[in-house]
Amino acid sequence: MFLNDIPNEIKSLSIAQLKELCETLRQKIIATVTHNGGHLASNLGAVELTVALHYVFDFPEDKIIFDVGHQCYAHKLLSGRADEFDTIRLKGGLSGFPKREESAYDCYNTGHAGTSVSAALGIAKARDIKGENFNVIALIGDGSFNNGLVYEAFNSLKPLNTNILVILNDNGMSISPTVGSMHEYLEILSSDSRHREKIERHANIFERFGFSYDGVYDGNDLECMIDKLTEVKNKLKTGSVILHVYTKKGKGYAFCEENPQETHGVSSSSSKPSLQYSQVLGETLCELARKDKTIFAVTAAMTPSLGLEPFFMEFPDRCIDVGICEEHATILCAALATQGIKPFYAVYSTFLQRSYDEIIVDICSQNLPVTICIDRAGISGADGETHQGVFDLSFLNCIPNLTIAVPKDGTEFRRMIEMSIHFDAPLAIRYPKDCKYSYGDKDSEIVPGTWQILKKGTSDIAILACGERAITLARRAMNDSGVSATLVNARFVKPIDETILAQLNQTHIITIEDNMLAGGFGSVILARFADSGKKVHCFGYVDKFIPHGSVGELMEDFGLSCREISEYLKQCE
């Protein structure tokens, strides 16, 4: 079976051939993801459902939006992209998420949770206005279902007066196991699947929003899915439908089925395991929490990747994973802090964007001592533009009352966490995934707003480097260029260290940061030295969305090139 012919041929295949196709897809996904890294378990679970969708519906005329988009691999393979599938998540290759630029079969880019129903409604409404006639499908997992956006979208189905199909792909897992009452409710539906009467009563919750509800069916049963989707396609002519299916995360690969959380996302075979900042967070917070009963940890569906599983195991009464609800998580932290509890909100930089209003209004305008631990800051790599953590310094910088810290290594991160315990104001600490240098100067306490001179240089150049990646790059550039500059660990972006700044008698000031240039650390230094006669030059990311690739490649391509920094150093000397 040639996968690239599938888009034209799929409707003429027999059930036996379709089942064979499922097996082919599954093997291709396992082989590729094991090599390139990516989302494994969720994609394996969605194979039969995706084949049935392509068999029953007419893509790309019909439109499908994959919520989050991490379960779109079979869809990519079935829509003419099989030959390029080996390149997935590699620089210049296929994206690991739906991309309109890549194929007409991808009608809406996703990456963050809970957007699919809103997007489906918008596309369906546009169709109605234009008098067109196609089907619009949102495929959403039970993890995304916790996000308030889904509820907001449901709430406007009736006012929009349009028809969509929502397929709830229920596998009981966000990334961590799905939490919360909605999940319990979905479980009731699943367990009641043989009692139609009960289901009809339960179904009310969706029907009130204007959907007809149908479920729960086995999403890994290809024939069942084909039957149900055919039936539902017909119903869509007169109204909106929620089709509730359950699938087995990791289906068909025993190791995944048994370890769905660990195999949700897997690293590429070439990536070396290293110390991660998340481990430092977990270990340090556990140690501190043994002594300090006020410490509380909040996450939004990413507990293990944030290093907080040990904390959640040891202190079950002083933590919560709220599900994919970053806004709610932020307010919860602010409210805990009003009562003398010390909350740590750990979150990926890219998802922190969801909390922006609450960081301003709830945490910072009330000046509450919440510590926000921002993981995967800077370029995060293979997940591409929707996941790069390159905006945080820019969007946080303008918020009053907020202190922003950027550790240079694991030890410094540990000291910052320790410092935060008695820090009586909002604090954000941002760091990338990998922590190459775990131990710097062991004993020094961190005073907020202080920097550190790492090296005194002989030239008329001072480099203010912000975070581990920037410092590493500065050292490499000095090495490559042979230029000896003064190197400063600018570990606080806000406030900046006026004592060290006043001492800098160099004419050339260079800033380096793993963040957008606009509004980042460099912009703070430019403002500080305006009118000073010093020449300030900033290195950071240029004004473009950064696609997928390896961290090193992308840093080089988008503004943090060692060669360019070296050349600039030579030019200044």
What is the spatial distance between Cα 329 and Cα 316, in angstroms, rounded to a whole number?
A: 17
Question: Which C-beta is closer to its own copies: that of 396 or that of 419?
Answer: 396
Shortest separation between residue 254's beta carbon and its own copies, angstroms: 31
- Residue 125 is among the residues annotated as catalytic for this protein: no
Question: Which C-beta is closer to its own copies: that of 216 or that of 225?
Answer: 216
- Residue 249 is among the residues annotated as catalytic for this protein: yes
- Residue 292 lies near its own copies (rule: CB under 8 A): no
Q: Scanning residues 458 to 497, which ones bind its own copies (CB under 8 A)?
A: none
Q: Which residues pair with 39 in a beta bridge?
A: 265
- Residue 100 lies near its own copies (rule: CB under 8 A): yes
- Residue 89 lies near its own copies (rule: CB under 8 A): no
Q: Scanning residues 501 to 520, which ones bind its own copies (CB under 8 A)?
A: 516-520
- Write out the H or E segment, with its range, that includes residue 478: helix 468-481
Q: Tell me whether residue 346 is exposed, middle or buried, using C-beta atoms within 10 angstroms of its C-beta: 0 to 12, 13 to 18, 19 or more.
A: buried
- Whether the CB-CB separation of 380 and 330 falls below 8 Å is answered with no
What is the spatial distance between Cα 177 and Cα 205, in angstroms, rounded to a whole number?
A: 23
- Residue 571 lies near its own copies (rule: CB under 8 A): no
Contacts of 47 (CB under 8 A, 6+ apart): 22, 25, 26, 29, 74, 220, 251, 252
Shortest separation between residue 135's beta carbon and its own copies, angstroms: 14
Shortest separation between residue 199's beta carbon and its own copies, angstroms: 13
Q: Scanning residues 361 to 420, which ones bind its own copies (CB under 8 A)?
A: 361-362, 364-366, 385-386, 391, 394-395, 397-401
- Residue 130 lies near its own copies (rule: CB under 8 A): yes
**3-state class of 560 per DSSP?**
coil
Shortest separation between residue 534's beta carbon and its own copies, angstroms: 10
- Residue type at 508 in one-letter notation: H
**3-state class of 350 per DSSP?**
helix
Question: Which C-beta is closer to its own copies: that of 6 or that of 164?
Answer: 164
How far is the CA of 107 from the CAs of 12, 64, 101, in angstroms? Answer: 25, 7, 9
Q: Which of 127, 228, 249, 414 is catalytic?
A: 249
Q: Scanning residues 340 to 369, which ones bind its own copies (CB under 8 A)?
A: 340-341, 351, 353-354, 356-358, 360-362, 364-366
- Residue 182 lies near its own copies (rule: CB under 8 A): yes
Question: Which C-beta is closer to its own copies: that of 144 or that of 420?
Answer: 144
Q: Which of 326, 358, 468, 513 is catalytic?
A: 326
- Residue 354 is among the residues annotated as catalytic for this protein: yes
Shortest separation between residue 228's beta carbon and its own copies, angstroms: 25
- Write out the H or E segment, with its range, that includes residue 140: strand 136-141
- Whether the CB-CB separation of 43 and 73 falls below 8 Å is answered with yes
- Residue 421 lies near its own copies (rule: CB under 8 A): no
CA end-to-end distance (rounded Å), the chain: 63
Three-state secondary structure string covering 531-543: CCCCEEEEEEECC
Shortest separation between residue 416's beta carbon and its own copies, angstroms: 21
- Residue 58 lies near its own copies (rule: CB under 8 A): no
Q: Scanning residues 303 to 332, which ones bind its own copies (CB under 8 A)?
A: 317-318, 320-323, 325, 327-328, 331-332
What is the spatial distance between Cα 380 and Cα 388, in angstroms, rounded to a whole number?
A: 5
Q: Which of 89, 354, 430, 491 is catalytic?
A: 354
Identified binder of its own copies from the candidate list 50, 71, 144, 146, rule CB under 8 A: 146
Shortest separation between residue 323's beta carbon and its own copies, angstroms: 6
- Residue 293 lies near its own copies (rule: CB under 8 A): yes
Q: Is 307 left (phi over 0), alpha (psi -120 to 50) or beta?
A: left
Q: Find, among 369, 320, 377, the residue nearest to 347 by Cα.
A: 377
How far is the CA of 528 from the CAs of 138, 399, 454, 502, 510, in angstroms? Answer: 49, 17, 21, 11, 13
Tell me the catalytic residues: 249, 326, 354
